[in-house]
């Protein structure tokens, strides 16, 4: 009796494995689950992903995840955020415990090739800079010779820092921690002399210090940091959804579609590209496996890229970061999404 049961379990599990083994389908898994799982920071990356006292997530990366959820389910709340320390983030994506990472991770060769990830575009063009206390009198990087520098574990900034100081024959002590708040606390306590990270992130993080004006970001940029959403390579369809959600956010800003006018645009716009985007004509949604009015859902729930940036990092936020390179190509920035055709 007991044995029969055992064999039953073994047999069932083998059958279950073989039945499921053929599925590599991330989109199907997400739809079956009924929500997207997005790997984010531990909730302290001001401007990108923060978790407030009531458990509400906010930030540019968070809004991007909500946009993907809105695209797939028509509901921006159908997303679960998994707070991850950076040094665990890629392992979590590889193991499949999160569907995508929107976690201030720069697009690099190794991550794209050897680690078998796919980047679905870039939502923030940034560069690696240094935040230092004004009172130290440091004006350029060479002044930091012999300094202790705070950096997050397992990041590209950690590697860039090491490369830069090595090639420039400068000495430094890395103070490696797992999160922004630890780095900031260390910087504030004088445990390290400088904190290196993306400049945009530093500008936002500075607000987490008790006296933000006592600190300055050095002008020098030691490396490019193109931040984008990362997915696994196992399902091209999901990558397409992730990429075209991002492109749509950018294209909408370019076409002047905002959360306020999207409903009106959807019904009355004469522009054929806008009509295609908003699902009035063509099958923009169907080819991605989404509802045809998915863009309307996305834009009406989180707004276009400009609105998202403004709300979290730009003029509408305490960070007051200038758009800079994160401006549309037509306005001298780097944001350039493929056309909907």
Partner 1 sequence: MAVSDQNMATGIWSGAESDEADAQPHLGPRQRWARRKAILQQAAVLLLVAALAVFVIRNTVVNLQARGLASGFDFLWQEAGFQMAFSLISIDPTSTYGRVFLAGLLNSLLVAALAITAATILGFAVGLARVSPSAPVRYVARGYVEIVRNLPLLLHLLLWQAVVLRSLPTVREAIGLGGFGFLSNRGLYLPAPVAGDAMAIAVAMVVTAGIAAIVAGWVTRGRAQARGESPPRFGPVLIAGGLIANAVAIATLDWQIPVLAGFDYRGGLKLMPEFVSLVAALTIYNSAFVAEIVRAGVQSVGRGQREAALALGLPPKLILRLVIVPQAMRVIIPPLANQYTHLIKASALATVVGFPDLVNVFLGTSLNQTGRAVEIVVITACVYLALSTTVALATSAYGRRVKLVER
Partner 2 sequence: MAHSSVSGTSSPLVPTTAVRRLLATVVANPFGTAVCLGLAYLAWTLGLRIVDWAFVNATWVASDRAGCNPDGACWAFIVNRLPQFAFGFYPEAERWRAWIVLIAPPLLLLLAMAPEFPGRRKVLVGGFCLYPVASFILLSGGVLGLAPVPSEKWGGLLLTMVVGIGAFVFSFPVAILLALGRTSKLPAIRLIATGFIEFWRGMPLIAILFMSVIMLPLFLPPGVEFPRLTLAMTGITLYSAAYLAEVARGGLQSVGRGQSEAANALGFGFWAMQGYIIMPQALRAVLPGIVNSAISLLKDTTYVMVVGLFDLLNIVTAALSDPAWLGLATEGYVFVGLVFWSLCFGLSQVSARMERDSERAQLRAPNGGRKAS
Q: Which of 78, 80, 191, 224 binds partner 1 (CB under 8 A)?
A: 191
Q: How far is the CB of 92 from partner 2 (least distance, A)?
A: 5
**Cα 271 from Cα 175, distance rounded (Å):** 54
Indicate the residue among 11 and 24 with the shorter CB distance to partner 2: 24
Contact 150, 144 (CB under 8 A): no
**Cα 30 from Cα 74, distance rounded (Å):** 13
> What does 193 interact with, of partner 2, partner 1, none (CB < 5 to 8 A by kind)?
partner 1
- Our finding on whether 181 is near partner 2 (CB under 8 A) is yes
Q: How far is the CB of 188 from partner 1 (least distance, A)?
A: 9
3-class DSSP state for residue 74? coil
Q: How far is the CB of 75 from partner 1 (least distance, A)?
A: 28
Per DSSP (E only), the strands in the chain are 36-40, 44-45, 49-51, 57-58, 79-83, 100-101, 117-119, 124-133, 147-152, 172-177, 194-198, 215-217, 224-227, 230-232
Q: Which of 114, 137, 213, 270 binds partner 1 (CB under 8 A)?
A: 114
- Our finding on whether 163 is near partner 1 (CB under 8 A) is yes
Length of the chain: 341
**Cα 301 from Cα 62, distance rounded (Å):** 13
- Our finding on whether 176 is near partner 2 (CB under 8 A) is no
Q: Which of 8, 11, 34, 97 binds partner 2 (CB under 8 A)?
A: 97
CA distances from residue 291 to 91, 235, 280 in whole angstroms, order as listed: 32, 19, 12
Contact 241, 27 (CB under 8 A): yes
- Our finding on whether 29 is near partner 1 (CB under 8 A) is no
- Our finding on whether 47 is near partner 2 (CB under 8 A) is no
- Our finding on whether 86 is near partner 1 (CB under 8 A) is yes
- Our finding on whether 20 is near partner 2 (CB under 8 A) is yes
Phi/psi of residue 183, each to 5°?
-60, -45
Q: How far is the CB of 185 from partner 1 (least distance, A)?
A: 7
Binding mask of the shown chain, residues 45 to 74, with x at each position contacting partner 1 by CB under 8 A: ------------------------------
- Our finding on whether 210 is near partner 2 (CB under 8 A) is yes
For the chain, give percent helix, strand, coil, nearest 5.
Answer: 45, 20, 35
Q: Which of 116, 134, 287, 331 binds partner 1 (CB under 8 A)?
A: 116
Q: Exposed (0-12), middle (13-18) or buried (19+): which is 259, by Cβ within 10 Å? A: middle
**Cα 58 from Cα 42, distance rounded (Å):** 12
3-class DSSP state for residue 129? strand
- Our finding on whether 92 is near partner 2 (CB under 8 A) is yes
Q: Which of 100, 147, 218, 274 binds partner 1 (CB under 8 A)?
A: 147
Residue 106 pairs with which residues in a beta bridge?
Answer: 227
Residue 216 pairs with which residues in a beta bridge?
Answer: 132
Per CB under 8 A, residues contacting partner 2 are: 16-17, 20-21, 23-24, 28-29, 32-33, 42-44, 51, 53-55, 80-85, 88, 91-92, 94-97, 181, 184-185, 188, 207-210
Per CB under 8 A, residues contacting partner 1 are: 2-3, 6, 9-10, 13-14, 17, 21, 24, 86-91, 94-96, 110, 114-116, 144-148, 153-154, 158-159, 162-163, 166, 173-178, 182, 185, 189-191, 193, 232-234
């Amino acid at each position: 009796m007991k044995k029969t049961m055992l064999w039953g379990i073994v047999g069932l599990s083998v059958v279950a494995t073989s039945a499921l083994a053929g599925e590599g389908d991330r989109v199907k898994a997400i739809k079956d689950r009924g929500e997207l799982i997005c790997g984010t920071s531990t909730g302290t990356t001001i401007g990108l992903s923060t978790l407030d006292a009531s458990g509400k997530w906010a930030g540019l990366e968070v809004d991007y995840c909500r946009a993907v959820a809105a695209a797939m389910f028509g509901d921006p709340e159908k997303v679960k955020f998994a707070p991850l320390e950076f040094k665990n983030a890629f392992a979590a994506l590889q193991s499949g415990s999160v569907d995508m990472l929107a976690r201030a991770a720069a697009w690099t060769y190794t991550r794209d090739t050897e680690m078998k990830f796919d980047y679905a575009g870039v939502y923030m063009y940034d560069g690696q800079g240094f935040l230092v206390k004004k009172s130290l009198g440091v004006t350029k990087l060479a002044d930091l010779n012999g300094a202790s520098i705070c950096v997050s574990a397992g990041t590209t900034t950690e590697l860039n820092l090491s490369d830069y100081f090595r090639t420039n024959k400068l000495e430094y002590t890395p103070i490696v921690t797992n999160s922004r708040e630890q780095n900031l606390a260390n910087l504030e306590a004088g445990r390290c002399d400088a904190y290196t990270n993306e400049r945009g992130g530093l500008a936002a993080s500075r607000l987490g210090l008790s006296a933000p004006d006592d600190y300055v970001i050095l002008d020098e940029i030691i490396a490019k940091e193109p931040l984008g959403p990362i997915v696994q390579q196992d399902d091209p369809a999901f990558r397409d959804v992730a990429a075209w959600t991002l492109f749509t956010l950018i294209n909408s800003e370019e076409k002047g579609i905002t959360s306020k006018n999207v409903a009106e645009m959807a019904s009355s716009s004469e522009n054929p590209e806008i009509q295609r985007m908003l699902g009035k004509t063509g099958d923009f949604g169907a080819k991605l496996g989404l509802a045809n009015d998915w863009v309307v859902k996305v834009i009406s729930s989180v707004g276009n890229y400009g609105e998202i940036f403004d709300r979290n990092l730009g003029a509408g936020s305490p960070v007051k970061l200038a758009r800079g390179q994160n401006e549309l190509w037509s306005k001298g920035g780097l944001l350039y999404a493929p056309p909907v055709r």
